Structure 1
Amino acid sequence: MKKKKRKRAKARTAARFYSSRDGADAWGTHQSRHQGSTRLVAAEAIKHNQKLVNNHFRKDWQRRVRTHFDQAGKKASRRTARQVKAAALAPRPVDKLRPIVRCPTIKYNRKVRAGRGFTFAELKEAGIARPLARTIGISVDHRRQNLSEESLAINVARLKAYKERLILLPRRSNAPKKGDTKTDLSKVEKATSVSAVLPIAPTDLAVKEIKKSEMPAPVEGGAYRKLRVARSNARYQGAREKRARDKAEAETAKK
């Protein structure tokens, strides 16, 4: 009797193990090699398209610990490196002129920051040639596009202000070219950083009151309706022209 009960228990365990192996139910089994036994483990099925959990905590993390006891020394080293770089680039500034751009996403677009480079349209409006811009400390970005008149105007004004302050030294002191500065450099105040001379001021986020008369006039019929009509006209222009053309041909054929 005892042997029969043991066989039935083993059969039930094996049946449960193989039936849950396809993941149909939420209960799985884990066949352990330890002591030659089969162990049942309760595991909830993973929902959605997630990776299978395989945690590995027994890593040799002590070998990967990084300390920063040289923090004070590194600070002094970075300062010395900045001074060496400024001396090597003198009398040129250590940085380039960057445009004023808005931060991406609705959450941060109320803030402004320095962008990667000026667009071709901004350089054209400021009267600066593309090949010349990179040689006089102006950063250029061929990918960025101007999406508003305000951004174009503010960066053009920034370029013109930089151009007025620019001191262009001749490559050869005895052979100056057109556009080179002819003033005495000893009397001119030199700047080591462009961002210090032309800083990017934060935007004014204060709420202001305006008069009702200063508010823009509303669009007749509503802005949404006007946009939808313009979209519909552009979409069905070809079909309407074809319909009118077919109608004219049909009338001509009747005559």
Structure 2
Amino acid sequence: MAPSRNGMILKPHFRKDWQRRMATWFSQQARKIRRVRALQAKARRMASGPSQPIVSPYHTEASVGRGFSLKELRVAGIHKKVARIIGIFVDPRRWNKSTANVQRLKEYLSKLIFFLRNSAEELKLAAQLTGPVMPTQNVYKKEKARVVTEEEKNVKALASLRIARANARIFGIWAKRAKEAAEQNVERKNKALLGT
């Protein structure tokens, strides 16, 4: 019996291996994601990544950071919107200014070559750089093992740190007292000179 209007489909015999007899599109979204990822991987293989700053997560190691700070861009003379266009990562959350990163930006700009859209001959001659742009180099040199000296054994690290911290905290008070003492000495000398 044929189905009539919006009623129930009577006696649907779709249980015997129906997937082979019908075209399904359940993998449509997954295919889309796979295509996008393949395109991104191809773009990564072909082109070099944007320029990134050098940061020091630990005192011995230099690695590539998320993006240049706005201060660094300002010192290098690059607008934040232009930076993103010409392949420079920008991280507005970073607030510090590193002279090494400013120098890195200037070096990147000096090596950058701009092509006009209508210059087809020049574009044919151009070669695309692959791999990381201006890779980082660790400057840390590992020290050789040696015998600990007596002077190093006698150093009390925690005590010296606490003393240094206390000195930094009380420095202003000490300076004020020293200034007052110097002024009192000058007054005493003046009184002594006037008295004699």
With the length of structure 2 as denominator, give the TM-score of the two structures.
Answer: 0.50
Larger relative contact order, structure 1 or 2 (CA cutoff 8 Å, min sep 6): 2
With the length of structure 1 as denominator, give the TM-score of the two structures.
Answer: 0.39
